[in-house]
Structures are given as structure tokens and as C-alpha cells.
A and B are shown apart, each in its own frame.
Chain A
Amino acid sequence: MENENTVIRVRDLVKKFGQFVADDHLSFDVYKGEIFGFLGANGAGKTTAIRMLCGLLEPTSGELTVAGLDGFKQREAIKRRIGYMSQKFSLYEDLTVNENIRLFAGIYGIPTHIRKEKTEELLEKLELGSARKKLVRDLPLGWKQKLAFSLAIIHDPSIVFLDEPSGGVDPVTRRRFWDLIYEAAHEGITVFVTTHYMDEAEYCHRVAIMSAGKIVALDTPKALKKEWDATSMDGVFLKLARSNE
């Protein structure tokens, strides 16, 4: 299924820390506009994998192409083409909404006139216009989450990486947040998301499940449920975990 729509291409990717093999021969493709879920328990190798994809870590061996760029030699260039949102929705709490927008637009080198346009657009979409001069620390959690996501894609990246983006957020807020994710995917941004909420896994187009440094399953939620004879992703996950013991 390899084609020009491949945004992330991973082949036999290995990362070792000394003797410890964190990621063991990972191979998968992610396509343009796809929402790709990355599941696994803590310590399964998710974080290491996402760090390599973001250009933060150099892989030990294998092949890695992100947005058409080499994951070994062009790590700095990759950083310009991706967005990243961490599980802490890391914004600067002591800066206002406007100042956060200005800062991140500045870091990604967005020219002033485009920044102003984008700021208005973003504030309107998030219905944050009235809060633009508020400090981020005074915003409700759900708003912070949406703002963090919008800032992660403010520079129109090819891919946005979301590292457990829904920690501590209630299911209703989570659902609204996923509306934003669908919208971004619809606009052609590829979304790579790690999560341990199984309802979120259902929202993904395809999911990969990791265990002990390996990908043990990769398919659409529907196909996985069928294969493992489960009614929910939760069931798939449990059965997979048992079969790997």
C-alpha cells in the first residue's frame, strides 16, 4: 500500500539504550490526513518511538522518513514540518492567550501579518476572543487543551504528534477535542496520537498496539475488534495483553 500519500515511513526501526532495546524492528506507514493511534502500556516503547519520529532522538538502525525527510540526517529539518503537543498541554501559564500565540508563531517563524490573521481565525474558532488577554493559568482545562492543540498546528505542519493529549479531561470535553482533531485531519494534517484511553482509540482511523518494544497489532479498530472477537478496543487490548504473557 506504499504510495505518494505516505507521510511517515518506518522500516525495521531499532532504538537501543546500551543493552536495552526500547524499540525492536518497528515497521509501519502513516498516510496523509490519517489519524493514527499508537497504543501500549507505559514502558512499551511508545515515547521512544514518538521521540525518534519528532527528530528528538537518533535511531540506532533501520529506515525512517518523516514528511519526506530522513530521520537520521535531517532531524532539524523535520522539526519545522511537524507539530507537537505533550500530555501536559504545555503552554506558558503566566502568559496571556495572545502572548502564547505570538510566542509560538514567532518560534516557527511565521511572519507578523500572517500571524495576526491566524490569531483572529484561531480565537474565533475556539471562541476564545473574550479571553485573549487572560492568563492561560486562569483558563478551564478544556480550553487549555484546545489552545495547546491549535498552537501545535499553527504553522500548518504535515504531521502533528499528540502525546496522550487527553490526560485528566472528562469524556465530554474529550469528544469536543476530537472534533478539532477530525477537522485538522480533514484539512490534510496527519495526526499521530498516543493514548491509553480506549474510547479515543475507537476514534482513530488505524491503531498500532505496542508491547515490549514491538508492534503486536496494526489495523483499523473495526478489523481488530473482529479479529479478536471483541466488542470494544478495551476488549482487544485485554485479549492481546493476555496472549502476549
Chain B
Amino acid sequence: MKQLRGFIRKEFHHIFRDSRTMLILFGIPIIQLLLFGYVITTEIKDARIAILDKSHDEVTREITHKLLSSGYFRLDAMLDNEGQIDNIFRQGNIKEVVVFEQNFGKKLERDGKADVQVITDASDPNTAQLLSNYTNAIVQDYLQKKFVNYKIPLEIKPQVRMLFNESLMGAFTYVPGTMALILILISAMMTSITIVREKEMGTMEILLVSPLKSHHIIIGKVAPYLILSILNALIIIGMGYLIFGVPVRGSFILLMFVVIVYILLALSLGILISTISDSQVKAMFVSVMILMLPTILLSGFIYPIDNMPVALQVFSNIMPARWFIEAVKAVMLKGVGTGYIWKQILIMTGMTILFLGISVKKFKLRLE
């Protein structure tokens, strides 16, 4: 036990004396969370829009009023004909044009159906998508309140002129996503690098010849990263709450349990990577290629899994981060208990055991 303590102390020395390691440990999580947070939550406020009202009846005036008083939109121009639409978009000042068709109110009353065109500036797809969603919601809300007693399904045709950005994130996904990414980065990449560094420097040989057991060496190497990763998770959750108002609706203890299960999984991956890499550069490369990029792209962090091609959906099943994000979202945002996330926890635990098993096998082979 005393041997192990000294060994862990040494590992902390390595970490605290290397400014690059410190930067990765504490600089990147904060910067990344702020970036994701601010870049992706493009809050819509006073977006400038134009309206082409070909009907000029009571209904269209009321909808217009409701749109403009929502706080999201500000009227830039009332248009007279469709020919002006292209031109006004080209000027670049306005983000959206709303077009009411002729006899809007009458058609609505008579046929239960009227068309609104929502045209948005697609050069900024995220904002465009948000704007059209907001517009839609406001119109629907108006109809529900106005025609409470009617049972008319009102049809709106949002003709959105842009590439549909399927990747539009739900409001709070970036906190679980950032956690998934950062914890993989610290736990898997940093541990694999630090273990491989011992091999490169030749100190691993000294440790193997010493009376330290191999599990002592492994525990000594990963324990500091476990502690620092937990600290990092707390920082991210804290920042998410204080700066972006992302709540923890479920049990905090359960959340931390999920976090620790995931960290252990990432650490076991780091150990596995260290057994197949013989240089720090290779360890880093393998970590980035097989962990970071797929974690960003395939875990559901940015691109919803449901929208992926089937092959990639199947592939996403083997992404550790996928299960972590699902479980964390469920606990943080939906506030569910263990009963709802046991599957994710089981899968992550299974992966950990698998990775450790392979590592032990590889390690023994290497020594022979």
C-alpha cells in the first residue's frame, strides 16, 4: 500500500510539472464547453424579418402582431410583391420572409387550410432552422388559441430555402456531449500516453523488474487520472448549471455514478491503447483517430443517431460515448432513476471488462 502511494504521488508530479498536460486537463474542458455552449445556443433575439401579406385581413394582421411582439423578430420591411423577396435577401439584412397567401383568413375559415410561406436565409443554417421553427410554433400557438372551438387542422407549408441541418442540437445536449468528449480525452488519451512514455523512457523496465505487481503499476498510473477526471466532470456540470442553466433534474449521486462508470471505461480503453502502441505519438494518433473523431461524429453528440445511415447507426452501438450520453441526458434532463438506464450502465461495464481482458492478454504476450 505504501509502495502504491509513493507511485501515485510520482504520477501527480508528472502531471503537475507538465504544462501541456495541465492545459489539456483543465484548459480544454473549459474552453470547449464555452465554445460549444455559446456557438451552438444561438439564441434568437430581434431577428430582422420581412412580411409579404397578400391578404391583409384580420387573421394575418393578428399573426403578424404576434410574431413581432414575441421578442424574437423585428420587422424590417413590409413587401408588396414576390419580386422583392430575392432582392431583399441579397442585401443580407434580413433573415426571414413570411408570406401569407391571398384570402388567407377566408380560406382558413372556409377550407380549414391556408398557406404561409417561411423563407429563410440559408447561409446560416442553424439560425435559419431555429427561425423557421419559432415562426411555426408562434403560428400554431395563435391558431390553437384563436380557434379553440374549431376542429380544423390548419396546414402550414414552411417552404424553407436551405439545406436542412439535421444536426441542429437540442438545447442542452452539449453538456453531456462535452463531458463525453473531455473524459475520453483525459482518461483514454492521457493515460495511454503516460504509460507509453514509461516504455519509451525505459522506466517501465525498471518498474517491471521491481517488486511492484503489474496491477499496482496500472492502478498507480490511472488513479490520478480517475481523480482528475471526476474533478473535470464536476467542473463541466457546474459550469453548465451556472453559465448555461443546464439543470441536474435527477439524482446527483446517480449522475456521478454514471460518470465514474464511463471514466473507468475510458481508462480501460487507454490501457488497451497503451498495450498496442510503442510510442507516444502513436498512442496519441490512435486515441484521436479511434476515439475523438468517432466520439464527436457518431455518438449522437452532434449528429442525431436516428438520422444516420443504418450502417453508421449500427456502428454507433460500439461507441462508448453513445451510451454515456444517453444515460447522462436521461439523468440530467429527464430526471429518471436507475431503472431507466441500467441497460446503458451494463453495456459500459461490459465494455470495460472486455477492454481490460484484452489488455491483460496483450500485456502477457508482449512480455513473453
Contacts and interface: CB of A to CB of B under 8 A. Distances in A.
Nearest to A85: B206
Contacts of A104: 210
Contacts of A17: 368
Interface string A72-88: 00001001101011111
B10 interface: yes
A120 interface: no
B62 interface: no
Contacts of B210: 79, 84, 104, 107-108
Interface stretch (B11-19, B83-91, B125-133): B11-19
B23 interface: no
B211 A84 contact: no
A82 B209 contact: yes
State the main secondary structure of chain B at its contact with A: helix
A86 B6 contact: no
A107 B202 contact: no
B208 interface: yes
A65 to B, nearest CB: 18
Given A57-B368, A84-B209, A92 B10 contact: yes
Given A91-B203, A99-B10, A106 B368 contact: no
A19 B3 CA distance: 39
A108 B213 CA distance: 12
Could you say which of B14, B208, B209 has the most chain A C-beta atoms within 10 Å of its C-beta?
A: B209
B368 A109 contact: no
Contacts, number: 71
A95 B212 contact: no
A127 interface: no
A95 B205 contact: no
A86 B206 contact: yes
A56 interface: yes
A12 interface: no
A92 B368 contact: no
A95 B198 CA distance: 13
Contact of A99 (B5, B13, B368): B13
A94 B17 contact: yes
Contacts of B134: none
A25 interface: no
Interface in B232-269: none
A103 to B, nearest CB: 5
A88 B10 CA distance: 19
B37 to A, nearest CB: 34
Interface string B347-367: 000000000000000000001
B202 A86 contact: yes
Interface string A47-90: 00000001111000000000000000000100110101111101
Interface in B199-243: 201-203, 205-213
Nearest to A106: B6
24 contacts: A54-B209, A56-B209, A57-B367, A76-B211, A79-B210, A79-B211, A80-B211, A82-B209, A84-B210, A87-B202, A90-B202, A91-B203, A92-B201, A92-B203, A94-B13, A94-B18, A95-B10, A95-B13, A99-B13, A102-B6, A106-B5, A106-B6, A107-B211, A107-B212
Given A85-B206, A90-B202, A107-B211, 5 more contacts: A55-B209, A57-B367, A80-B211, A99-B13, A104-B210
